[in-house]
Amino acid sequence: MLGVDEAGRGPVLGPMVYGIAYCPINQNKVLESLGCADSKALTEEKRDEIFLKMLTEKEAVDNVGWMAEVISPNYISNSMYKRAKHSLNEVSMNSAISLIKKTIELGGNITEVYVDTVGPPEKYQARLKEIFPDIKITVAKKADSIYPIVSAASIVAKVTRDHALKVWEFPEGLEINHKDFGSGYPGDPLTKKFIREQIDRIFGYPLLVRFSWSTAELALQERAAKCSFEDIDDENTKKPKGTQAISSFFSPKNERKRKRHKFFEERNLTMSNAFE
Phi, psi of 187, deg, nearest 5: -80, -10
The whole-model pTM stands at: 0.79
Query: Which of 97, 111, 21, 32 shows the shortest CA–CA distance to 66?
Result: 21
- Cα 224 from Cα 171, distance rounded (Å): 20
Burial class (CB in 10 A: 0-12, 13-18, 19+), 48: middle
Report the pLDDT value the prediction gives residue 218, as an integer from 0 to 100.
Answer: 87
**What superfamily would CATH give domain 2-167?**
Ribonuclease H-like superfamily/Ribonuclease H (3.30.420.10)
Report the pLDDT value the prediction gives residue 217, as an integer from 0 to 100.
Answer: 86
- Residues 40 and 83: beta-carbon distance below 8 Å: no
Determine if residue 116 is labeled as part of a ligand binding site. Answer: yes
Determine if residue 6 is labeled as part of a ligand binding site. Answer: yes
Spell out the domain ranges in the chain.
2-167
Determine if residue 233 is labeled as part of a ligand binding site. Answer: no
Report the pLDDT value the prediction gives residue 276, as an integer from 0 to 100.
Answer: 44
- Cα 88 from Cα 208, distance rounded (Å): 17
First-to-final CA distance of the chain = 69
Task: Write out 11-44 in H/E/C secondary structure.
Answer: CCECCEEEEEEECCHHHHHHHHHHCCCCHHHCCH
User: What residues pair up with 3 in beta bridges, in sequence order?
Assistant: 21, 114
- Cα 192 from Cα 181, distance rounded (Å): 8
Report the pLDDT value the prediction gives residue 144, as an integer from 0 to 100.
Answer: 93
Report the pLDDT value the prediction gives residue 264, as an integer from 0 to 100.
Answer: 61
Report the pLDDT value the prediction gives residue 140, as an integer from 0 to 100.
Answer: 96
Low-confidence ranges of the chain (pLDDT < 50): 232-237, 254-255, 274-276
**Alpha carbon separation from 198 to 84, 202, 207 (Å, rounded):** 29, 12, 11
